[in-house]
Structure formats: structure tokens, C-alpha cells
Amino acid sequence: MSRQHSIEIIVGAFVAAGLVALFFLAMKVSNLSTATVEGGYRLTARFANVGSLKPRAPVTMAGVRIGRVEKIRFDKSTYEAVVTLAIDPKVTTIPVDTFANIFTAGLLGEQYVGLEPGGSQDYLKDGGEITQTQSALVLEQMIGQFLFSKAEKGGK
């Protein structure tokens, strides 16, 4: 009887460890495990289309995460999406001619903002705006353009 009881305890411990591992995996995938950037500064960027970009998405430069997307709102006057980026306070030298792109990472299609620095000697400050942006590539639009071009070639 005691051997049966110890086996049940070991199985229960493995199940509990598996549930804890699944919880941490879910937190990592959903970007909830890391808090927002504390004490950093805010930049904005305007995009014609943000695709499925979400708040808390990473902001990277040279492949290194330097911040997070804080919020996304719609500007009724320009019909653009305004993305607020929370940048790590240690990163203070982002040139004013930096280019912001929305990229897709991984198999799940998580989107993030990638910054490509320009060559200016002037740097963005808190509340600054990145004016050069590239919107997200929407897969449905790309497929539609491909099919349309193929249909157009086939008709000639």
C-alpha cells in the first residue's frame, strides 16, 4: 500500500511541475512575463497599417530588444495608426532619422517593431516622433497581388 501511495505522490508532483512549466511557457509566448519599461522614454510612430501588432510587442534595434509597444491608437484626422513605443532608459542615442518597420517573427506570426538607425548626429528625446515608417505586410494583400499579376499575364 505504501508503494502505491508513493507512486501517486510522484505522479502528482510530475503533473504539478508540468502545469507550472505550461504556465511559464504561456507567459513567455504572450509577452506577459516581462513588465513594461520602467523609467524609460516614449516615442511615437505613424503607420498606414499595423497588421496584428499588439501592445507589449517588442521593439528591437539590431535584433536586441530595447523597448515595448505601449499603446496603439487610431488618428481620425490622418487615418493612421499611432504607435507609442516605450524605450529603455539605457538606450539614449536613437537618431532622428531612424526608420521603423513592422516585422513578423516566428511561426506564430507575432509582430514587432524593428528600428533601423539613421546617420544623424541628433537624437530622439522623450515625446519624439519617428517619421520614416514601413507598414506591416499583410499576407492576404500579397497573395491577392500575386494572383492578380498571374491572372493578368495569363490573359495576354
The domains of the chain are located at 1-30, 41-144
Residues in the chain: 156
What is the predicted pLDDT for the residue at 106? Answer: 72
pLDDT the model gives residue 130: 94
- C-beta atoms surrounding 87 within 10 Å: 23
pLDDT of 113: 95
Return the pLDDT at 44: 96
Consecutive 10-residue averages of pLDDT for the chain (156 residues): 83 90 79 59 94 91 93 95 94 93 81 92 93 82 79 69
**pLDDT score for 105:** 83
* Cell matching residue 137: 505586410
Proportion of the chain in helix, strand, coil states, percent, rounded to 5: 30, 35, 40
pLDDT of residue 136: 81
Please give the pLDDT value at position 150. 78
Q: Are strands 58-61 and 110-116 parallel, antiparallel or unpaired?
A: parallel
Please give the Cα distance from 125 to 89 (Å, whole number): 11
